[in-house]
Amino acid sequence: MVMVGTAAAAAAGRAALLLWLVLALADLRASAAADCNFPAVFNFGDSNSDTGGLSATFGAAPPPNGRTFFGVPSGRYCDGRLVIDFIAESLGIPYLSAYLNSIGTNFSQGANFATAGSSIRRQNTSLFLSGFSPISLDVQSWEFDQFMNRSQFIYNNKGGVYRQLLPKADTEEVETIIPDLMERLTSVVESVLWHGGKYFWIHNTGPLGCLPYALMHRPDLAAPMDDAGCSVKYNKVAQLFNLRLKETVASLRKKHPDAAFTYVDVYTAKYRLISQAKKLGFDDPLLTCCGHGGRYNFNLNIGCGGMALVNGTWVAVGACDDPSKRVSWDGVHFTEAANKFVFDQIASGALSDPPMALRQACHSRGAQ
C-alpha cells in the first residue's frame, strides 16, 4: 500500500505546496475481505509527518514540543503524536524512525524520509534564508533509493544485528506551478512503483487558509475571511491543488492497474474540525497553543520554545495549559488531539475514493 498525503503552508508571499507520501509494503495472503498486513511503511513529506528528520539535521525541536505524549521533545513539531504516528499504531508497527537520525533508530518496519520545511520542488536557497528545507521530495526519493539498496546489501551480506534493524526488500503563481508539481509527484510515485511499491494511500492538502501562520504572514493576501475565520483565497488554492491531485491519482490508477491508489480527503476532515471546533470540544481553532501575542497567540518572529521579551524580561515561549483543547499547536502544525481527530475521520475510509479503510487499502487495486 502507498499512502500519499499533501500539506500546505504560506511563505515568501505565496502558498508553497508540500507533500508527504507513505509507502507500505503489503502481504496479501489474507482474503479480500480481511485486513491487510503491512509489515513495513516508508514515509515521505514535510513537518506534518516529520518524526525527527529536521531536528536531527538542523537542530533539535525545543521544549515544550513533545510534552503531551512523549514527555520530552521527540523531533516532532507537535505536543505529541502526528497522524503518521496514529497510522503506525493502527497498523501495529513501531513509530517510524527518521532516516536522518543516527540515534535510537529502528528500521525493521520502515523508515521516515519526511523533513520539516520540505517541498515538492527544489528550493534555490538555504533553510536559514527561506525557511524551506533543502531536502525536497526528489532528495527524499534519492534517500529512499539509497536506503533500499544499502539495506538490502547489508541484510544479505552482513546478517547479525542488521537483520533485526533493517526491513526486507502567490496564489496565481501557485496555480501556474501545480502542473509541474503533479509531474514531479507522478515521477516519485513511479519511482516507488519501480522499487516494488503497490499500495498508495494518498492524502490531499489541508485548508492552508486556516493556519495562523498564513493569516499573519500576508494579511493583505489572506482577506477576505469565511465564517470560520479562514482565508477564502488561500483555501481556494488548496482546493484547486486537491482537484488536480485527484485527477493525477485517477491517471496513475489507469496507467498502473496492478497498483492500488486510495485518494483521501484530509481537507474535509481538517476543515470540519476547524469549522466545528467548539461543538467538538475544542476552543478557538485559530488560537495557537504554543506561541506569543496577538489575535492568534502567534508571532512570526518568535516560535514555539523561543525567547520573548515580556515587561523587560526574556521568557521562554511555552504552551497553553491544556493542549487537548486546542487545534493549532504552533501556528503551522496541529496538536496531538487535533491529529487524532483527523486520523479518526480518515481511517474508516469514509473520506476516501474509493471508500476504503486504511487497514484494507491493499484491496482497492483496480478500483476506478
* Exposure of 71 in the CB half-sphere (CA atoms within 13 A): 0
pLDDT in tens, 335-362: 999 999 999 999 999 999 999 899 888 8
Query: For all residues of the chain together, what is the average pLDDT?
Result: 83
Q: Decide if 225 contacts 275 (C-beta within 8 A).
A: no
**What pLDDT score does 316 carry?**
86
Packing angle, helices 266-275 and 336-347, rounded to 10: 130
249 pLDDT exceeds 90?
A: yes
* Angle (CA) 126 131 137, round 5°: 75
Q: State the pTM of this model.
A: 0.80
Q: What is the mean pLDDT of residues 249-268?
A: 94
219 pLDDT exceeds 60?
A: yes
**What pLDDT score does 165 carry?**
55
In which band, very low, low, confident or very high, does the pLDDT at 175 lie, cut at 50, 70 and 90? confident
List residues with catalytic annotation: 47, 330, 333
The segment with the largest mean pLDDT, out of 14-23, 37-46, 313-322, is 313-322
60-64, 201-205, 309-313: segment of lowest average pLDDT: 309-313
Q: How far apart are CA 366 and CA 73, in angstroms?
A: 42
pLDDT over 70, % of the chain: 83
Q: Which residues of 14-53 are buried (b: 16+ CB within 10 A; e: fewer)?
A: bbbbbbbbbbbbbeeeeeeeebbbbbbbbbbbbbbbbbbb
DSSP 68: T
DSSP 341-356: HHHHHHHTSTTEES--
Higher local confidence (pLDDT), 163 or 287: 287
**What pLDDT score does 14 carry?**
27
Give the CA distances from residue 161 to residues 152, 153, 164, 165, in Å, rounded to whole numbers and listed in that order. Answer: 14, 14, 5, 7
Q: Decide if 205 contacts 342 (C-beta within 8 A).
A: no
149 pLDDT exceeds 50?
A: yes
**What pLDDT score does 67 carry?**
95
**What pLDDT score does 30 carry?**
39
Strands 307-310 and 199-203: unpaired
Q: What is the mean pLDDT of residues 278-304?
A: 94
Strand partners, 22: 3, 43
